[in-house]
Structure 1
Amino acid sequence: MLQLQSAFGIVALLAIAWALGENRRAVSLRQAALGLVVTILTAVVLLKVPTVARAFGAINDAVGAISSASRAGTSFVFGYVGGGALPFDLKAPGADFVLAFQALPIVLVMSVLTTLLFYWRVLPPLVRGMAWLLERTLGVGGAVGLSTAANVFLGMVEAPLFIRPYLAQMTRSELFLVMTGGMAGIAGTVLVLYATLLAPLIPDAAAHFVIASVLGAPAAILISLIMVPETSKQLTGGTLGDPDTQATSTMDAIVKGTSAGLELLMNIVALLLVLVALVHLANAILSLLPAIGGADISLQRLLGLVMAPVCWLMGLPWSEAVTAGSLMGTKTVLNELIAYVELAKLDTTAIDPRARLIMLYAMCGFANFASLGIMIGGLGTMAPTRRDEINALGLKSIVSGTLTTCLMGAIVGLLT
């Protein structure tokens, strides 16, 4: 029954995207149907074909190696605070874990690895191969396909750097697709961090995060073309060159990757501190209102009620939908890291293993208000002549990004 519920949810989520879109009569049913078929087939291949599943399972070993390497660095620099041997007996299990000094520094290591792999020309062929597949199967322009494929590995601002010269020439639909691709995925720099947080709870968590990143490409194209269909002639097709890495040597790539990672790390730490404080403050204000159902009103409870129907559509039983809805609301208003931290704290009585897996996919995207500011600032700088249009599409891109990740969650619910 839950799988049938997920199947109904897939149709309902696409209907919501259509209802919230613009120029609905211009939506190509053929292209939408093809996009849905490609997205589902991609999910089936990645999740159900044994050989492919084993190959993605090997990613967990790579993530484990990266985590161990990061822990070696934090232990050396920060001592027992960074995960080294404790100079005292541990009285409370888990009390020795310090998020800022043990888990978050993985972002630094991943930033350097990503920069090195681009400088060594390892990632560009993979990105271009995915772009070619997206062009041939879904009919998107070369620039859009390249940016969407790059979102598998990079963030919402880094990926469009691949196609910076083409942004000004894009149609409104293509521009929205670029924004949706950014909102519907996560960067490789934080993928390992999230996988580390959920590894104790979800088997092969790292593999699922990678699959979610790959699956997000066709799903983002499907949702964006339903919400803002193409009505103009595309001017950004054809073969595109690789981006300039701006690194002159391997050591230079390491230094620049570290600097970029440090900026990202500090932003993550600062945002976590401020956003958690603001949520606590908001809950303190809401607690002044009369209690409902024997419990104080909180931001999480309110968001849970709003997003619970969406979680039900993904295939969760209603008894777990409110809890899951609270996570989706936290992810949308704050960010996905806080939502994943909250998910890691929940026990199996609140949300079962199948629901955890669905939520992993449903929250695997940057669609939140803080990210919107980053995207508008980045794209507006790259394409100043399109700044007004980028601003106008901003809130719509949060909706499209959220619908995309929820669609992935529903598809996973259908297959599990």
Structure 2
Amino acid sequence: MIQSLVGLFGLVFIAWLFSENKKGLSLKNIIIGMALQFTVAALMLKVPFFSDLIMYLNHAVDALQQATQAGTSFIFGYLGGGPLPFAETSPGASWTLAFRALPLILVVSALSALLFYWRIIPVVVKGFSLALQKTMDIGGALGLGVASNIFVGMVEAPIIIAPYVNKMSRSELMTLMISGMATISGTVLVLYASILNPVLPGAIGHILTASIISAPAAILISRIMVPEQKGHQGEDGLNIKSTASSSMDAVVKGTSDGVSLLINVVAMLLVLVALVALTNQILAFLPDFQNEPLTLQRILGIIMWPVVWLMGIPAHEAYTASSLMGTKTILNEFLAYLQLAGLPAGTLSPRSTIIMTYAMCGFANLGSLGILIGGLVSIAPSRKDEIVALGTKSVIGGTLATCMTGAVVGLLY
């Protein structure tokens, strides 16, 4: 617990090292941000009412998985989960990522579009927006953008407040970018929960909680890295409407968006795994390090070791955890969660598994940086140079924000 507490301030110090104005640090923002993070985490994880409410979401995961399997087995037969025409010689050998797990993206994307059309998601988002405005002193447009990032993607959230992005201060723009990097969208939330359920019961509750806790952390980190100097935009009463003309149109558009996302996920996974394998083949020509071949994962593990230790991971587990964090940062969180789920039993303690689940719950990676820059530049082309200049910092800030979330959770376990 003491390790995580010290680490929390250590992570803030790292953010301060990247600050554009080290004298503009606000102690009030740091205290409020940390207090809000800890309060939300305590409510979600320790108060029976809230924890039980979140655990019920696990039933939604099962329902969505069963519904998706009905569709995949109809389309792909036994590859999608239908009855096997042969005996399975090894448990789980018939399970395929492409035909069993990834199609879940399509179902959730369509469902999210439908809930948005029915104005269920906007109501929830506005509730979070109001909370962030009152506690973190940010404008209505930015509050809505940060809150939206908890539920939708890093490109979809800025689209919701598109008319205001071009008018945002540099600090607000940084906050919007880091909040996108520090959270995940509802589309992949269910997918990650289904992967982690075998090693972390009630995974969807933990992942959703992580995304919520990371929102104030993103604001805190961004305010440290790019302190506010001009004052926030104070727009209120934003009218958020779906572009769909009917419920069926929402389903069609959601499915279409899901197809694009699915193709990108598959393509990026294929290319990134191939590039990692190619890099490791090149590194194999170098001398062994500590009697083991040098790989990209080992190099990243060494670099990230101090960071995961600051979150509260014991020293003897820190290398394994830092390798996961390195994979998440350079590649993506999807591959990192797959590796976490595939670790031999006992490699990480239950506490360390929970900390890493929270710390890896964010889009902060190089692939997402390209997506974020492309999306924001299309929304605010006049801010292109500024957006590109803040790009690398947004990855660093998003990583620090999720690591702060991991440290906060470490304090509670």
Aligned counterparts, 1:121-270, within 5 A: 121-234=119-232, 236-270=233-267
Partner amino acid, structure 2, of 1:286: L
| SS of residue in 2 equivalent to 1:169 | coil
- Please provide the CA RMSD for this pair: 0.8
CA distance in 2, matches of 1:186, 1:11: 24
CA distance in 1, matches of 2:321, 2:139: 36
User: 1:408: Cα distance to partner?
Assistant: 0.3
Q: Cα deviations across residues 211-258 of structure 1 (Å, max 9, x unaligned)?
A: 111112111111111111101132x21313233311001111111000
Aligned counterparts, 1:5-154, within 5 A: 5-154=3-152
CA distance in 1, matches of 2:250, 2:302: 47
Partner amino acid, structure 1, of 2:23: R
CA distance in 2, matches of 1:179, 1:197: 27
| SS of residue in 1 equivalent to 2:245 | coil
CA distance in 2, matches of 1:303, 1:195: 25
Equivalent in the alignment of 1:408: 405
Q: Cα deviations across residues 361-390 of structure 1 (Å, max 9, x unaligned)?
A: 110000001100000000000001111100
Residue among 283, 297, 309 paired with 1:312: 309
CA distance in 1, matches of 2:33, 2:91: 47
CA distance in 2, matches of 1:295, 1:349: 22
| Structure 2 unaligned residues grouped into runs of 5+ | none
CA distance in 2, matches of 1:388, 1:240: 30
CA distance in 2, matches of 1:222, 1:111: 30
TM-score by length of 1: 0.98
CA distance in 1, matches of 2:90, 2:239: 51
Q: Cα deviations across residues 61-98 of structure 1 (Å, max 9, x unaligned)?
A: 11111111111111111010001111111001111110
Residue among 371, 395, 410 paired with 2:392: 395
Determine if contact 2:141/2:238 at 8 Å carries over to the other structure: no
Aligned counterparts, 1:371-390, within 5 A: 371-390=368-387
CA distance in 2, matches of 1:329, 1:180: 18
Q: Cα deviations across residues 116-163 of structure 1 (Å, max 9, x unaligned)?
A: 011001110111111011001110111110000001110100011111
Partner amino acid, structure 2, of 1:171: S
Q: Cα deviations across residues 290-310 of structure 1 (Å, max 9, x unaligned)?
A: 111111000010000000111
Determine if contact 1:184/1:405 at 8 Å carries over to the other structure: yes
Determine if contact 1:162/1:242 at 8 Å carries over to the other structure: no
CA distance in 2, matches of 1:300, 1:242: 46
Residue among 335, 338, 347 paired with 1:338: 335
CA distance in 2, matches of 1:34, 1:259: 41
TM-score by length of 2: 0.99
CA distance in 2, matches of 1:335, 1:147: 23
| SS of residue in 1 equivalent to 2:243 | coil
Q: Cα deviations across residues 294-351 of structure 1 (Å, max 9, x unaligned)?
A: 1100001000000011111111111111111111111111111011111111013321
1:369 and 2:369 correspond = no
CA distance in 1, matches of 2:263, 2:276: 20
CA distance in 1, matches of 2:149, 2:246: 25
| Structure 1 unaligned residues grouped into runs of 5+ | none
CA distance in 2, matches of 1:159, 1:112: 17
CA distance in 1, matches of 2:237, 2:300: 43
CA distance in 2, matches of 1:90, 1:126: 45
CA distance in 1, matches of 2:266, 2:175: 30
CA distance in 1, matches of 2:341, 2:264: 22
Aligned counterparts, 1:273-288, within 5 A: 273-288=270-285
Partner amino acid, structure 1, of 2:240: P
Identity rate, percent: 53
Equivalent in the alignment of 1:360: 357
Partner amino acid, structure 1, of 2:278: L
Partner amino acid, structure 1, of 2:180: G
CA distance in 2, matches of 1:275, 1:400: 23
Partner amino acid, structure 2, of 1:98: T
CA distance in 2, matches of 1:359, 1:24: 30
The size of the alignment, in residue pairs, is 413
